[in-house]
Structure 1
Amino acid sequence: MKCDSHIHIYDRAFLSDPNAHGFVDGADVAAYRKIQARIGTERVVIVTPRCYGTDNAVTVDAIRQLGIENARGVAVLHPDVTDAELAALHAGGIRFTLYTPKNAAVSFDMVEPLAHRIAPFGWHMQLHWTAEQLVEHEAMLRRLPCTMVFDHRARLPLKDGMQHAAFDIVRSLADAGRAWIKLSGPYLDSAVGLAGRYADIAPMARAWVDAVPERLVWGGDWPHVTETHKPDDAMLLDLLTDWAPDDATRERILVTNPAVLYGFSL
């Protein structure tokens, strides 16, 4: 069963501030079911959107609707979360979106304390950081007691690509069995954009496939909140055929790897 390992669900029923910045209409569970039918995925990982802060109710409800057997979630939390709250969550991961720290719901000083809180639960920590931030905080990353998942190809900058020091840092963590990388969000770093089918991202995606195919998952990043012109979700999945040309590797990225990372049945 194929897994889309990175989406966001938005539902006004769980929005405490009706004017919250970044809310997306038409991106609830019912809308995502249509995307699943279009691209042929059966499993999904839901990441709590920024507009909900540390309230993960929207994600927990989406997992309930989609079914825990085929849905997982990644929550946003602060270190002061109670043990009871951690035990009650079925999200399975914590996300630190610090690519633009001024807009983040969390901060770098929260990473290590929370990592020690979630490690006993077997959860992972998902990091959406710039490549420069990964280099700056390398020592901390190597100390973390939990597994790490790096968002959006570790956000390697287009001009440096695999030559950026972050590539070797993330690869070494993946080689040691401590990290995973999401092949997602090609539009976030592409210069050619949708018109060019994000072709300039392909060399970096292929480099990850060549380096650590057993530590990769794919995500569509629906509903593509950063994009004015939304990409076709089927086209985004088709890009994986270019990045990973052989069937066995794509099967690993879409089926086997997410089952291992997120605890789905094989």
Structure 2
Amino acid sequence: MSDTPLVDCHAHIWTADMPVVANPRHRLGYDFTVEQYLKVLDEHGVQLGVIAAASPFGDYNDYTIESLRRTKRLRGTVILDPAVGRYELEGMARDGVVGVRLPFINRTDLPDLTSFDYRRFLRRLRDLDWHVHLHVEGHKLPALLPALEASGVKIVIDHIGRHSAEEGVAGPGFQAMLAAIARGRTWVKLSAGYRLGPHATEHARALLREAGPERLVWASDCPFAGHEGQFSYRSTIDWLIEAIPDAEPRRRIFAETPVGLYFS
């Protein structure tokens, strides 16, 4: 599909014996190891991958970091307490961590991103040229994006923004996302369309039309936590081919844009 390495910008790895937070979104009583993931990439001609911190494990990032140390094919995001120190972040950066995931999905109480703790945290991420990997429902984006943008940190929004069909592309959440993209430090993952419904394709096409391929990346969401056995890795590639039928922007979404964002 491209001479530039193809990049899967969102997958999870874990072992069944890892510690789990109270009341996790998903209970994952099986292994999906880094070796299994790399085998999947090889089977599908995908050269590079980005490991996304999985919320059931909270800030237990040990397995992700250990896996990043073992191969230059991977980058990763982690979940951290905002009080984390600069030296710890610098060590993670050397290991291949490039961002922090904010798993705010299903939360009724969003944190105050203008507090000192978060302003200090976001400044440290900005100084390291990391990104905030934001996982939240689309209608909450207008409440979160202003403080994130004011911090100067790069922003990568999960799963097409998780906008509902009812709100649609004209809704305030989608429009806030487009405005953030236009200001130049925000990207969106075209991923997990299977979690969103038929409108995912419409939203992906609207993003391409309004934002262009320079701000879009593809991701598999492998191994489909909570939907195991219902989808194949190949189906996530086929979905992007269907959603973005023009080969040139699709090539940039599969390859050039994510290489520049995660591996430059």
Q: What is residue 210 of structure 2 aligned with on the other side?
A: 211
Question: What amino acid is aligned across from residue 51 of structure 1 in structure 2?
Answer: P
The 1-side partners of 2:68 and 2:231 are apart by 25
Choose the corresponding residue for 1:183, options 190, 194, 197: 190
Give matches, 1:159-238, under 5 Å. Answer: 159-190=166-197, 199-212=198-211, 213-227=213-227, 229-238=229-238
Q: What is residue 196 of structure 1 aligned with on the other side?
A: none
User: Residues 108, 75 of structure 1: CA spacing in aligned structure 2 closer, same or farther, 3 A cutoff?
Assistant: farther
Q: What is residue 58 of structure 1 aligned with on the other side?
A: 63
Per-residue CA distance 1:80-110 (angstroms, 9 max, x = gap): 11221101003110110101127x9x94546
Q: What is residue 31 of structure 1 aligned with on the other side?
A: 36
Q: Which runs of 4+ in 1 moved over 3 A?
A: 16-21, 106-113
The 2-side partners of 1:170 and 1:17 are apart by 32
User: Residues 24, 222 of structure 1: CA spacing in aligned structure 2 closer, same or farther, 3 A cutoff?
Assistant: farther
Q: List alignment gaps of at least 5 residues for structure 1.
A: 191-198
Q: What is residue 77 of structure 1 aligned with on the other side?
A: 80
User: Residues 134, 48 of structure 1: CA spacing in aligned structure 2 closer, same or farther, 3 A cutoff?
Assistant: same
Q: What is residue 195 of structure 1 aligned with on the other side?
A: none
Q: What is residue 95 of structure 1 aligned with on the other side?
A: 101
C-alpha deviation, 1:39, in angstroms: 2.2
Per-residue CA distance 1:4-47 (angstroms, 9 max, x = gap): 0000000246x245998433413111211232123221100001
When the two chains are superposed, the root-mean-square deviation of aligned CA atoms in Å is: 2.2
Q: What is residue 46 of structure 2 aligned with on the other side?
A: 41
The 1-side partners of 2:134 and 2:118 are apart by 10
Q: Secondary structure at the match of 1:122?
A: coil
Q: Secondary structure at the match of 2:133?
A: strand
The 1-side partners of 2:230 and 2:118 are apart by 32
Q: What is residue 137 of structure 1 aligned with on the other side?
A: 144
C-alpha deviation, 1:137, in angstroms: 2.9
Q: List alignment gaps of at least 5 residues for structure 2.
A: none
The 2-side partners of 1:11 and 1:62 are apart by 12
Per-residue CA distance 1:183-220 (angstroms, 9 max, x = gap): 00112221xxxxxxxx4321111111112221000110
Question: What amino acid is aligned across from residue 261 of structure 1 in structure 2?
Answer: L
C-alpha deviation, 1:78, in angstroms: 1.2
Contact kept, 8 Å, 1:10 with 1:58, in 2: the verdict is yes
The 2-side partners of 1:94 and 1:30 are apart by 23
C-alpha deviation, 1:121, in angstroms: 0.4
Number of equivalent positions? 251
Q: Secondary structure at the match of 2:169?
A: helix
C-alpha deviation, 1:245, in angstroms: 1.1
Contact kept, 8 Å, 1:125 with 1:148, in 2: the verdict is yes
The 2-side partners of 1:31 and 1:47 are apart by 15
Contact kept, 8 Å, 1:150 with 1:180, in 2: the verdict is yes
The 2-side partners of 1:83 and 1:217 are apart by 28
Q: What is residue 127 of structure 2 aligned with on the other side?
A: 120
% identical aligned pairs: 25
